[in-house]
Amino acid sequence: MSPHVKARRGLPYVDPAKHLPHFSWKKRGGAAREVYCEQVPLSQIARRYGTPAFVYSRQAIQDAYRGIERGLAKVPHQVCFAVKANGNLSILNFLASLGSGFDIVSGGELAHLGHLGISGRRIVFSGVGKSREEIREALRYRGNRRDARGILQFNVESPAELEMLIEEASRVSRAAERAPGVSVRVNPDVKAGGHPHIATGLEEHKFGIAWPEARRLYLAHRGAQAIRWQGISAHIGSQIVDLQPFRRALERLASYLLDLRRQGIALEYLDVGGGLGVRYTSEHPASRSDYGRMIAEIAGPLGVKVLLEPGRSIIAESCVLLSRVVYTKSNSRKSFVILDAAMNDLMRPVLYDAPHPITRVVQASSRNENSAERSDIVGPVCETGDTFLVDWPLGSVSQRDLVAIWLAGAYGFAQSSNYNARGRAAEILVYGRTAKLIRRRETYRDLLRTDVLG
C-alpha cells in the first residue's frame, strides 16, 4: 500500500459539525437529523444546485479573518489573504470588504483583483518564478481610477528576479519616491510544514534566498533609483500547527532586519508569510489569536508594519464539498462507497496525503460511528489514487445519499481540474438563511470552448 493511502487508512471517526460553529446538526422530524450550514440545510442546497458542490459559510470566513486581526491588534499590520488558497471573486470581494489585502503568486491572480477594483496598495506579489510580463503588469497595475500605478510590494526570490525587476522598473517613468517597494524573501532554514510538498523553509527548497546572499543583495542595491527597499519576508510552509517554528523563523527575520538597520537600510515592513494549520482530524493547532499575538510580541519592538499572508487558516474550515453516493460495492476483502465527487474536485488527498473527514448529511438517528461499517470512500475517476479515505466508518449508505467532505475551502476548488473531461463543481456561499450561487457548474460546452480543431 502506498504511503499516501496509509496516511488515510483506518482513522478514528471525526465529526467536524461538532466543533465547527457555523455547521451543525439539527432535527428534521422524528429522530432524523441533518447538517446545516448556518441556517440552510445542506440537502436543500443539493436539491437546488446539484452535486458535487462547494458550500461556504460567510460567517465562518468573517470570524476566522477577525480572529487573526484580534491577535495583531497591538501592532500596525495588514492581513493579505493568500489568493492561491481560494480565488473565487465573491469570496475575495467579501474579504476586501472586511479590510483584507491580498498575496498573489501570478499575473492571473492580479487580473482577478483588478476585475474587482482592489487597490494596488493592498497587494503583495510573491512567487518564485515571476515572468517579465507579470512584473510589467504589476508595475502598471491600477485597481481603480484613484489608485497610483503599481502594487504595495514585490517579494523577490532570486538575484535574477531582482535584476529583471530593476530593469523593468527603470523603464517606467516615475518619481524616485514612487519606485516600487521591494522585499527579499529570505529562506530561514527552519523545518516546518505538514507534508513535504508544503514545506518551504529549508535550504533544499526552491523558495527564497539564504541570508548571506540576501544581505549581499540588500547592500549592493541600497542606492538603486528604480526600486525602493521596503521590507524583508519569509514563509516556512503550510499546515503548521505548532507556534514554535513560526517563532524561530520570525526571530531570525527580526535579527536580519536589525542587521540591515545597522547598515543604514531602514525597512518599513516585516512580512511573516502565513502557514497556520487547521484541524482536519486529530491535529491540535494553535488558535488564530495566539498566532497573531506571538507575531505582535516579536514584531512590536521593531517599530515596523507587519504583513501577514494567511490562506488556509481563513478559508479551509468555512467549506464542505457536498457529494452524493453513486454506488456501493464490495468484494471478499473490501467495501467501497463511490461518490460523484472525485480527485479532480479535491486533489488534496492524493497530492498531500490529506485526510478530509466525511460524514453523511442526513442521519436517521444519533449513533456511534466508530463502531459503524468501514469502507473505502472513493471517486469515479479512472485512477486508484482517486481515494478520499480508507477503512472509514461511514456506516451503511445507499445510492443518492448525501455526504459532506469537510474542510474543503482551501486548495479545494483552486486545485480542481477537468481530468476525465469532468466539469468543475459549483460554488455556493451561505449567509444566514440565504444560499447564493457564486460559481456555476461547468458544462460540456464549457469544456470544449477553448479547443481549436486542426
The distance between the two most distant Cα atoms of the chain, rounded to a whole number of Å, is 75
Three-class SS state of 452:
coil
Residue 52, preceding peptide bond in cis (omega within 30° of 0): yes
**Strand ranges in 176-265 using DSSP code E only, listed in sequence order:** 181-185, 228-233
Residue 59 near residue 38, CB atoms below 8 Å: yes
Among 37, 80, 319, 382, which one carries the catalytic annotation?
382
Radius of gyration over alpha carbons of the chain, in Å? 23
Distance CA 171, CA 179 (A): 11
- Residue 418: C-alpha distances to residues 35, 71, 245, 344, 446 (Å): 29, 40, 37, 7, 10
Cross-strand partners of 336: 329, 376
Amino acid letter at 72? L
Measured CA to CA, the distance from residue 313 to residue 64 in angstroms comes to 7
Is residue 382 part of the annotated active site? The answer reads yes
Closest CA to 44 of 317, 338, 434: 434
The secondary structure of 213-225 as a DSSP string is HHHHHHHHTTT-S
Cell representation of residue 80: 493579505
Report residue 92 CA to chain centroid gap.
12
Q: Dihedral of CA 176/178/179/183: which sign? A: positive
Angle between helices 243-262 and 211-220 (to 10 degrees): 30
32, three cell numbers: 432524523
H helix intervals, 329-410: 348-352
Query: Count of CB atoms within 10 A of residue 242's CB?
Result: 14
Q: What residues does 392 pair with on adjacent strands? A: 375
Nearest 5°: CA angle at 268, between 267 and 272? 95
Query: How far apart (Å, rounded) are the C-alpha atoms in residues 85 and 208?
Result: 20
C-alpha 227/C-alpha 323 separation (Å) is 50
Phi, psi at 402, each rounded to 5°? -90, 140
Active site residues: 382
